[in-house]
Chains A and B, each alone.
Chain A
Amino acid sequence: MNAGLNEYLVLSGLLFALGFFGVLLRKNTLVIFMCLELMLVASTLALVAFSRFNGTLDGDVFVFFILTVAAAEVAVGLAIIVALFRRRQTIQVEELNALKN
């Protein structure tokens, strides 16, 4: 194990920034949701790296919980997207401007 904690943290930050960039850039709600998942997983990578390099298990257990919550979140979010599509016939964020004006 030669790659230190710094490398893992830089990689985690890079992945998080890429996911955030996708959330800002994309117009398809599904792809935005995928980028959100990417951000979530990037943060878990940082947690696992911290946990490994400190010799504790608390970060790993926390990642365990994050995975569970993410699964629930995906189910609910996709159900909301499907309900939105039924109601409005689109999931492009630019056409979902009912709150504007």
Chain B
Amino acid sequence: MADSLFYLFAFFTVACAVGVVANKNAVNAAMCLMLCLMGIASLFVLLDAYLLAALLVLVYAGAVVALFLFIVMLLDMQGGVKRPFKKMTAVASVASLALMLVGVTMIKTRGQLSSLPAPVGTTAPVGAVLKNYAELLFTTYLLPVQVIGFLLLIAMLGVIVLSKKFAGMGDIK
């Protein structure tokens, strides 16, 4: 059951990722990105990381994609001149696609990890229990949590500075 679900979600996610890459329209690309993130969140559920799945949906599929859509609307750069690809770009794209296929094939055929850790079967997996996260975040990873909080503050200030027009600085740009 979980196996077929994995393949279903994996196919869905990869199809949506192709949609992100190949879509001409930026709004459609953002929508495909949201669907792709939902697929990855369901894969997280299959991996028993329920908290991360919920966070991925909230933070990424909610906030980040909404922000992307908002900026697409704000900039309104649909259409415009469509320049053809240079010949070098086409060659490089084909070469990189071939390299990607070779890499994936090599991983699939030769890259099997021989000593796979057996998944925990009967006991509840550690990633499913919320208390385990709290214990780690407030003991081992206390310093990174504080650093991340400070980083968010810096990002907020940086965004304000970037988007504010300061008086008397019109010619500096």
B108 within 8 A of A: yes
Give which listed residue, A57, A68, A73, A81, contacts B127 with CB less than 8 A: A57
Alpha-carbon distance between A48 and B43 when the two chains are bound, in angstroms: 10
Q: Do residues A24 and B151 form an inter-chain contact, with CB atoms below 8 A?
A: no
A96 within 8 A of B: no
Beyond A30-B72, A74-B67, whether A56 also contacts B126 by CB under 8 A is yes
In this complex, what residue of B is CB-closest to A7? B6
Interface secondary structure of B, over-half rule? helix
- Total interface residues on A, CB under 8 Å, equals 71
Chain B contacts with A in 48-104, Cβ cutoff 8 A: 48-49, 51-52, 55-56, 59-60, 63-64, 67-68, 71-72, 74-75, 77, 80, 83, 92-93, 96-97, 100, 103-104
Distance of A12 from chain B, by nearest CB (Å):
9
Give which listed residue, B46, B117, B137, contacts A54 with CB less than 8 A: B117
Chain A interface residues toward B at CB < 8 A: 1-11, 13-15, 17-19, 21-22, 24-28, 30-31, 33-35, 37-38, 41, 44-45, 48-49, 51-58, 60-61, 63-65, 67-76, 78-83, 85, 87, 90-92, 94
